[in-house]
Amino acid sequence: MFNLEDASLKDTISLLSELIQNKCINPPGNEMKSIKTIQRILHEHDIASQVFESAPNRGNLVAKIPGMGLGPKLMFGPAHVDVVPVENSDAWIEDPFSGIVKDGYVWGRGALDMLFIVATQVQTFVKLYEEGFQPKGDLILLVVSDEESGGMYGTEWMLKNHPKLIETDYAITEAGGISIAPGKILFISGEKGVSQKRISFEGKSRHGSMPYGSDNAIIKMSEAVTRISRYVPPITTKYISDLVGALKLGFVQRQMLTNPWLLSFTLNRLKSREPTMAMLLNGLSRMTISPNIAQGGLKVNVVAEKAHIDLDIRTLPGQDREYVFSQLRKALGPLAKDAVIDDLKNSEGILSFGSASSSHSDFVSAMEKAVNREMPNSTLIPLISPGASDCRFLRVLGTGAYGFSLFDPEMPSSMLAELAHGVNEKVSIKTLDLTQRVYMSLARDFLK
């Protein structure tokens, strides 16, 4: 049980509340407010830090506990302080930017994604500094902007402009640490890529009162949406097998999940009983295509001359740009000859490729050891995240980058999936305590 009288935990709760209250909604970001908050806290403990303005009111912070040059470097971060918007604040039980502490939780937008990790990493860094920690390799703290819109002004900007400052062998960031069975805890070893596309169609305008035989771009678009929604890209069970192997399921259960021919049947059965698990397994087994924006037409009494759909596509490691285009052409079938497929070029158009770090290494063993200090007899299970994170920038450089924290095991994974970016987002104080403890243990043991 956590101790609310623990000064470090109280400081973490206070920092988390303040970060929520800073309201760094992206867009536009305005993350410098939280960057300055963190710099102030570091300064109060005589810890030097550097702040770099990547755009007006946007910035990134770096601090370091220098190592003796005798071991690997470890980064706390990249930890982002920007949060997604709130669509309807009236649907929330509490003000989404109150940062209120209530019923054992800290409430507010960004509490889960990922301000609780920012707060615990900052306070762990402070505590290690104050106790005179002398690591073999550098311990780096990196707090960034703009993760929620692609990282252009955050991690990507830092790597382009100040790469030497954030060179590291290993990094821990969001999220991981979710219990999926007794003693079985997920960590994020990789992630899917993001490949957002626009498919455009052209028709021929004419008066809407005589549509018979018309060449209507909206009809082509709607047929394309139907075809895409029904298309099943090639299935792989490689990443599901990692989960299944760690869970030590029975033979029949293993076959239902790892045999590509049986997986679709299994997902259909899971869809009504365990929808969150069904969505996760679906995402781990294929490229996913979600048509999320459809636009077309100019006037209600004119047959549409132009129409397009914008797709959010998530790719597994190894699935490149050509793979995406080939799958879209297969999904469209005969419509492909009339379709123009382009990369999405607006500010929301993110392009990244799936990536993964080793799921078996001395560092992963060190993470598991840190977890076992708090939850004995636990096993870490690697997971490819369906969403993109700043880790993708680091993995290109050969950094072992992982999503790692430790959630209250009594919180169901389905609840966590609903709260991130959702209504009534909150994080338990027990999660804050557990996460701060595993960060402290990991740094002390791995860098000693």
| Helix, strand, or coil (residue 222) | helix
Distance CA 60, CA 202 (A): 44
On the question of a cis peptide bond just before residue 260, with omega within 30 degrees of 0, the verdict is no
The CATH 3.30.70.360 portion of the chain extends over: 193-343
Strand order in the sheet with 105-107: 101-102, 105-107, 426-428
Given this model, what pLDDT does residue 350 score? 63
Amino acid at 274: E
CA-CA-CA-CA torsion sign (23, 24, 29, 31):
positive
Q: What is the pLDDT along the chain (448 residues), one digit of tens a residue?
A: 556 667 889 999 999 999 999 999 999 999 999 999 999 999 999 999 999 999 999 999 999 999 999 999 999 999 999 999 999 999 999 999 999 999 999 999 999 999 999 999 999 999 999 999 999 999 999 999 999 988 999 999 999 999 999 999 999 999 899 998 889 999 999 999 999 999 999 999 999 999 999 999 999 999 999 999 999 999 999 899 877 877 777 888 889 999 999 999 999 999 998 888 899 899 999 999 999 999 999 999 999 999 999 999 999 999 999 999 999 999 999 999 999 999 987 545 467 889 999 999 999 999 999 999 999 999 999 999 988 899 999 999 999 999 999 999 988 777 887 888 999 999 999 999 999 999 999 999 999 9
> What letters, b where the CB count within 10 A reaches 16 and e where it falls short, cover 340-374?
eeeebeeeebbbbbbbbbebeeebbebbebbbbee
- Decide: 178 and 407 in contact? Cβ < 8 Å: yes
Distance CA 380, CA 181 (A): 11
Given this model, what pLDDT does residue 8 score? 87
> Is 193-343 CATH 3.40.50.150?
no
Task: Output the pTM of the full model.
Answer: 0.90
| CATH code for the part of the protein at 7-189+356-446 | 3.40.630.10
Distance CA 259, CA 428 (A): 38
Given this model, what pLDDT does residue 5 score? 61
Distance CA 216, CA 226 (A): 16
Given this model, what pLDDT does residue 3 score? 61
The CATH 3.40.630.10 portion of the chain extends over: 7-189+356-446
Distance CA 262, CA 255 (A): 7
Nearest partner of 141 among 218, 237, 64, judged by Cα = 64
Given this model, what pLDDT does residue 1 score? 56
In degrees and rounded to multiples of 5, residue 18 shows phi and psi of -65, -40
Rounded to a whole number of angstroms, the distance between the first and last alpha carbons of the chain is: 27
List alpha helices for 186-318, DSSP H.
217-230, 238-247, 251-258, 260-273, 275-284
Amino acid at 373: R
Orientation angle between helical segments 260-273 and 251-258, nearest 10 degrees? 100
CB proximity list for 226: less than 8 A, separation 6 or greater: none
